[in-house]
Structure 1
Amino acid sequence: MDMQDMKEEVRSRLNIEDVVGEYVQLKRAGRNFKGLSPFTGERTPSFYVSPEKNIWHDFSSNKGGDVFSFVMEVEGVDFRTALELLARRVGVDLAQYDSAGAQEMAKRKNRLYDILELTTQYYQQSLLKNKHAIEYVFGKRKLSKEIVQSFRIGYAPDSGDALVNFLKMKQFTEKEAQNAGLLNRFGGDLFRGRMMVPLMDGSGRVIGFTARILADEPNAPKYLNTPETLLYNKGRHVFGLSQAKEAIRRVDYAVIVEGNLDVVSSHQVGVSQVVATAGTAMTESHLKALVRLSPNARLAFDGDEAGLAATERAIPIAQSVGVDLTIINLQGGAKDPDELIQKDPALWQKAIDQAEPVVDWIITQHSKREDLTTAVGKRKFTTAALRVIRALQDPVEQEHYLQKVSTYTDSSIDVLKEKLAGTEEPDEKVLKKVAQSVAPIKTDQTNYQENLLAVALIDPAVRELLKDIQPDMLATDEQKVVLEYVKSSTKQLVDVPEDLQNYDTYVKIVLLKADARYGEWSDEDRYFETARLVRQLITEHKKITKNSLTAQLRQAEQDGDDVRAAEIRHQVNELIKEIPRAQK
């Protein structure tokens, strides 16, 4: 069967609106759906999906196509990867259609496994050679030799191209290193001066890394993870699984924590049934990987708003997979398992042993957050509690918790049943993040300059990256005024400040763009996006300066002014050295 047949087989099992709907909030518009474009910061929906024709079109960036081209755009991947992602989603095994393709894919994967294995060994060796890293890993984090070996912990040198040079020596291409998620967007080492913790699959093969900075710096992200690759998918990856599987089988439950280093600390004190779904919400894939080992899972998430929301989202997933969830309360105000373990490992095991049923825990948490002596408090509490009870599939279990809510609020079971049967409050849909589009979206050359100002307006933490940006690098007067403002202010902007009232409409548009484009991004992603835009702006400015100098050079040569020509020629040569090769 050829590629076209494979494509049609996958397409026939998909609804285009379901796939697009994971990235774009779609609303019915006659026979079509429409929503805000995921590629531009537009205010008026001009992104259309036609289920009938199986196509989408985005009028704001003039992009369009079928379901495959949509996934290629939003995930920033090639056609083959988009086909694989969608095939996995609908359960089509591409290998059965394409043995040559399957062999090629297997070859590519094996090459990635090889490069990551070698990189892991390189980082392990680098750790032993670096006094500063040894002090951090064995001294500050108190990790034992055994645990450092078991988790294959290492250190990434901070020179910026140490790994790149090592891999070249080992005959790996830059493209392969890029595909393994080891390079930054400029072709240098992604990980620098960090403790490296390999991410492994269930059988112990390295598929990526999580990297912890040694000394916390104000604006550098504390943790940096491998981006999504052919091998690493954060929605499927369970950290520590290969080291924890025997213990999970033995004790018949898995403990799920939030941080990778909580897992490492726990294994060090002999509590080895611990894994993490690091840096991402729990998915069905995570729990399916664990339910094969045991149907019981104990969650140790934060008791804050985000932890509570994450726990609530996990309930229906656990129900559908057949996992029995309980919740671990961290004693003595410890913020995470690592802190509790440093205090006393026995307290950690005790907290695990006293895990309570998930719904009880959530109802108790909500009861602490509301004033149950007031009508408003009771309304909010019952709405939250019933949202959780509604997710339960067993009517006897529902009845049990309705009684509990009835006791808390002094309400009758009948009234609660009536409210339970009433309209369900729609949950805010969590949309997937769209990969950054590399090609400029608008023909407007100043679009990226505006993006830079937008992210700086809403995120004061990125403003220190603007120190080398001068007003003359920007295209318009409005941009220059906004730049001066963000460079001199530490305030986060939600509305137009007094200093910018004269440019009211322009600033509102940039703020709107900021919200639409960067509002939902993590601090880390915003920081790296700003660094990229700053670099682009400086490079563009150098190119413009170079063109201007070249024109002056011609003039000087025509005028026979040799001294001036030599001076300009020197300036041009210096600039050429500074402009990245790809940009010249």
Structure 2
Amino acid sequence: MIPREIVDRIFDAARVEEVIGEFVSLKKTGANYKGLSPFNNERTPSFVVSPSKNIWKDFSSGKGGNAVTFLMEHESLSFPEALRYLAKKYGIEIPEAEEMSAEDQAAANERESLMLINTFAQEFFTDQLHHTDEGKSIGLSYLKERGFDGKTIEKFNLGYCPSAGDAFSKAALAKGYRLEYLEKLGLTRQRNDQPFDFFKGRIIFPIQSISGRVLGFGARTMQRDSKVAKYFNSPESEIYHKSKVLYGIFQARAEIAKADNCYLVEGYTDVTALNQAGITNVVASSGTALTPDQVRLIRRYTPNVTILFDGDSAGIKASFRGIDLILAEGMNVKVLLLPDGHDPDSFSRERSYTEIKQYFEHQSQDFVVFKAGVLMQDAVNDPLRKAAAVKDIVQSIALIPDHITRSVYIQACSTRLDIEEIALKNELNKLLRKDARKKLQVGEDVVPETEAKAPRQTLAPASGTAPQERELMRLLLTYGNEEINVPLPGGEEAEKVEVTLPVCDVIIGELETDGLQFENFRYQRIFNEYCEFREREELPSNDWFMRHEDPHISQLAVDLVSQPYELSAMWEERFHIYTTTEDKRLMHSVMDGIYTFKLRRVMQLITKTEEEMKNATPETDIMQLLERKKRLDTVKMKLAEFSGSTIL
């Protein structure tokens, strides 16, 4: 249990834009930041971060919250785990009442157990590399021969698994980690009921999530035997899905956003070698074919990708499908062809940073143009192969979502391929129509949406008070601590006396006077907590409910105070158009919210009374019901007058 004062310190220290900025590329728009949703596949940014409120809201998925809830949603952490993550980030020490044993930790939660084991494994392998004779003589010497210095080795937490066969497995089991979990992660296997290390005698490359948690491992053999697989990789597990991970993304994410470009390579050593040379905005697909999830992971930080090729024509053509995936996501793709006989590792080791940078900048070329050159080179003097190549190129252009970009490529290809533009356009339109028919058959939208829509909320029937309750709760959470001048009842108009009160006192007083409660139990819970604060003569902090330990309450609070748009100061500064915002007419907004809520409740009572009158029996006191309805009608008209509502 983390003490409440420590929780408050963590919330106070955590800046939501800093935390989320590690996972999502954010751009400042007015007082807020915007980016692409990490929870939905969208092309128009609808993910908003408000530093002033210290909250975020994803208008495409409907999710929202504070820094803690973001980590819970995005990294699948529990509330305490998210707090510990932030405490570590901001240097806040969390006192532990009693240290849990490794056995207890492993039993607490399978997913977290797997994460704990991977962390232990990474630390074990790193220690073996630096502090054992075998690790230093075999692993460390190999890495230094490849040109990696201590800084790069430490940056990527490289390690070594001893060749003894079971050194790691013995150490993990001795710490209390379960053999079942070691096997699930692919770290340990069994032969004749004896556990052994799957990565024995190999250099270890930890594969990390965006937040730096170890998800799996790549392992390179130190043997020269061609029959031995050069690389072993962790199997798929509950925490590791290779199609959703990019090697080096944790180290590169900030540099990718800063450079507004991502270099994409194939292997682990390609990433580490380029980093050693000073090129830090680079990630690897780890030898697997590029997947849509990996493409979207890059797109969080930049729409620009440069793919490095080593000159192998068969490999280049095989990669075209993966590049088409990037185009389909609306991203800009360039290709960088390295000199013959070089891969990113060897190329970077033979050149200075300046030479590498200049080569990358000058030799990068647009993918569609590059693809046209490669395919047409193979189709020289062969009309059928040329026709097939043209269709292949147009298929790639058809994947691009933006029609203007498609038109520009059609024009460029017409010139390069020496084919009439109208012919290319006809082929393009044929492909687009074919794709549209497919989507219609499976019920998809023919025209891609610019923004994913949040699920529709089912509201209470018109006879309920859901909209009025929501508005009143929004006012309470947004302005509860603000003070307004409220006229005291009684006296002549000229002698009206005003009293200054917090908005929360006005709302609480009005509702308690009439004995009214919220039908929504979470609204009522927030209202009750506010009342408890006022009984202690305290006011909750502005973000108290947005940082509430109950995620349902914090999510609700964020939903209520978040607005998809905000009025730009430009209206006044540049155009001298002056508007009256809600905070400038707060007393009116608050009283209108209260009276509208009360009015709806009175109308509910009138409806109920009318039903009772319809079903009246001789024993029923009909006069009493008529008198009640008359009083309610009077109250209704008075409230309607106060709130400015028209009653039909």
Cα RMSD after superposing both structures:
3.2
* Closer/same/farther in 2, CA of residues 178 and 265 from structure 1, 3 Å limit: same
| 2: CA distance, partners of 1:156 / 1:197 | 11
Three-state SS of the structure 2 residue aligned to 1:149 is helix
* Closer/same/farther in 2, CA of residues 202 and 163 from structure 1, 3 Å limit: same
Percent identity, aligned pairs only?
26
Give the counterpart of 1:122 among 98, 111, 124: 124
Residue 182 (structure 2) aligns with: 177
Residue 446 (structure 1) aligns with: none
Matches within 5 A, 1:505-516: none
- How many Å apart are 1:124 and its aligned residue? 1.4
Matches within 5 A, 1:426-575: none
Residue 278 of structure 2 corresponds to residue 270 of structure 1: yes
* Closer/same/farther in 2, CA of residues 217 and 136 from structure 1, 3 Å limit: farther
Matches within 5 A, 1:128-147: 128=130, 129=132, 130=134, 131-134=136-139, 136-147=141-152
Residue 163 of structure 2 corresponds to residue 155 of structure 1: no
Three-state SS of the structure 2 residue aligned to 1:327 is strand
Three-state SS of the structure 2 residue aligned to 1:184 is strand
Residue 299 of structure 2 corresponds to residue 291 of structure 1: yes
Is 2:149–2:276's contact at 8 Å kept on the other side of the alignment? yes
Is 2:303–2:331's contact at 8 Å kept on the other side of the alignment? yes
Counterpart code for 1:140: E
Is 2:158–2:203's contact at 8 Å kept on the other side of the alignment? yes
| 1: CA distance, partners of 2:76 / 2:206 | 29
- How many Å apart are 1:414 and its aligned residue? 2.8
Is 1:389–1:398's contact at 8 Å kept on the other side of the alignment? yes
| 2: CA distance, partners of 1:308 / 1:356 | 14
Residue 382 of structure 2 corresponds to residue 374 of structure 1: yes
Matches within 5 A, 1:37-48: none
- How many Å apart are 1:132 and its aligned residue? 3.3
* Closer/same/farther in 2, CA of residues 249 and 145 from structure 1, 3 Å limit: same
* Closer/same/farther in 2, CA of residues 207 and 394 from structure 1, 3 Å limit: closer
Residue 164 (structure 1) aligns with: 169
Residue 365 of structure 2 corresponds to residue 356 of structure 1: yes
Three-state SS of the structure 2 residue aligned to 1:326 is strand
- How many Å apart are 1:148 and its aligned residue? 1.0
* Closer/same/farther in 2, CA of residues 202 and 404 from structure 1, 3 Å limit: same
| 2: CA distance, partners of 1:384 / 1:168 | 54
| 2: CA distance, partners of 1:334 / 1:106 | 51
Counterpart code for 1:172: Y
Counterpart code for 2:343: D
Residue 25 (structure 1) aligns with: none
Q: More deviation in 298-307 or 333-342? A: 298-307
| 2: CA distance, partners of 1:406 / 1:367 | 13
- How many Å apart are 1:181 and its aligned residue? 2.0
Is 1:298–1:352's contact at 8 Å kept on the other side of the alignment? no
| 1: CA distance, partners of 2:403 / 2:125 | 53
| 1: CA distance, partners of 2:206 / 2:188 | 16
| 1: CA distance, partners of 2:294 / 2:383 | 40
Residue 423 (structure 2) aligns with: 415
Residue 241 (structure 1) aligns with: 249
User: Deviations along 1:510-569, whole A, 9 cap, x unmatched?
Assistant: xxxxxxxxxxxxxxxxxxxxxxxxxxxxxxxxxxxxxxxxxxxxxxxxxxxxxxxxxxxx
- How many Å apart are 1:188 and its aligned residue? 1.9
| 1: CA distance, partners of 2:433 / 2:140 | 52
| 2: CA distance, partners of 1:168 / 1:396 | 60
Residue 313 (structure 1) aligns with: 321
- How many Å apart are 1:340 and its aligned residue? 0.6
Residue 340 of structure 2 corresponds to residue 333 of structure 1: yes
- How many Å apart are 1:182 and its aligned residue? 0.6
Give the counterpart of 2:204 among 179, 193, 196: 196
| 2: CA distance, partners of 1:320 / 1:390 | 9
Is 1:308–1:362's contact at 8 Å kept on the other side of the alignment? no
Is 1:137–1:143's contact at 8 Å kept on the other side of the alignment? no
> Could you tell me the TM-score, scaled by structure 1's length?
0.52
- How many Å apart are 1:295 and its aligned residue? 2.1
| 2: CA distance, partners of 1:134 / 1:302 | 26
| 2: CA distance, partners of 1:341 / 1:267 | 9
| 1: CA distance, partners of 2:316 / 2:107 | 40
Three-state SS of the structure 1 residue aligned to 2:337 is coil
Is 2:310–2:340's contact at 8 Å kept on the other side of the alignment? no
Give the counterpart of 1:107 among 98, 109, 113: 109
- How many Å apart are 1:184 and its aligned residue? 2.9
Residues matched between the structures, number: 329
- How many Å apart are 1:237 and its aligned residue? 0.6
Is 1:198–1:210's contact at 8 Å kept on the other side of the alignment? yes
Give the counterpart of 1:252 among 254, 260, 263: 260
Unmatched tracts of structure 2, length 5 or more: 1-72, 79-104, 436-648
Q: More deviation in 204-213 or 361-370? A: 361-370
- How many Å apart are 1:112 and its aligned residue? 1.2
- How many Å apart are 1:161 and its aligned residue? 1.2
Give the counterpart of 1:223 among 210, 231, 255: 231
Which structure has the higher relative contact order (CA within 8 Å, separation 6+)? Answer: 2
Three-state SS of the structure 2 residue aligned to 1:333 is coil
User: Deviations along 1:5-48, whole A, 9 cap, x unmatched?
Assistant: xxxxxxxxxxxxxxxxxxxxxxxxxxxxxxxxxxxxxxxxxxxx
Counterpart code for 1:155: Y
- How many Å apart are 1:323 and its aligned residue? 2.5
- How many Å apart are 1:156 and its aligned residue? 0.8
Is 2:139–2:203's contact at 8 Å kept on the other side of the alignment? no
| 2: CA distance, partners of 1:363 / 1:410 | 11
- How many Å apart are 1:120 and its aligned residue? 1.2
User: Deviations along 1:270-327, whole A, 9 cap, x unmatched?
Assistant: 2111111112122222122222222222111444455434543234433443432222
Residue 391 of structure 2 corresponds to residue 389 of structure 1: no
Is 2:398–2:431's contact at 8 Å kept on the other side of the alignment? no
Give the counterpart of 2:332 among 324, 337, 342: 324
Counterpart code for 1:119: A
- How many Å apart are 1:334 and its aligned residue? 4.2
| 1: CA distance, partners of 2:272 / 2:138 | 17
Unmatched tracts of structure 1, length 5 or more: 1-90, 97-102, 428-584
Three-state SS of the structure 1 residue aligned to 2:204 is strand
- How many Å apart are 1:400 and its aligned residue? 3.1
Residue 374 of structure 2 corresponds to residue 365 of structure 1: yes
Q: Which has the larger radius of gyration?
A: 2
Counterpart code for 1:342: R
Is 2:274–2:282's contact at 8 Å kept on the other side of the alignment? yes
Counterpart code for 2:372: I
- How many Å apart are 1:425 and its aligned residue? 13
Counterpart code for 1:386: V
Counterpart code for 2:365: E
| 2: CA distance, partners of 1:166 / 1:193 | 16
Is 1:136–1:214's contact at 8 Å kept on the other side of the alignment? no
Residue 552 (structure 1) aligns with: none
- How many Å apart are 1:422 and its aligned residue? 4.7
* Closer/same/farther in 2, CA of residues 404 and 324 from structure 1, 3 Å limit: closer
* Closer/same/farther in 2, CA of residues 219 and 265 from structure 1, 3 Å limit: same
- How many Å apart are 1:381 and its aligned residue? 2.5
| 1: CA distance, partners of 2:414 / 2:257 | 39
Counterpart code for 2:361: D
> Could you tell me the TM-score, scaled by structure 2's length?
0.47
User: Deviations along 1:406-441, whole A, 9 cap, x unmatched?
Assistant: 3344332233334444579999xxxxxxxxxxxxxx
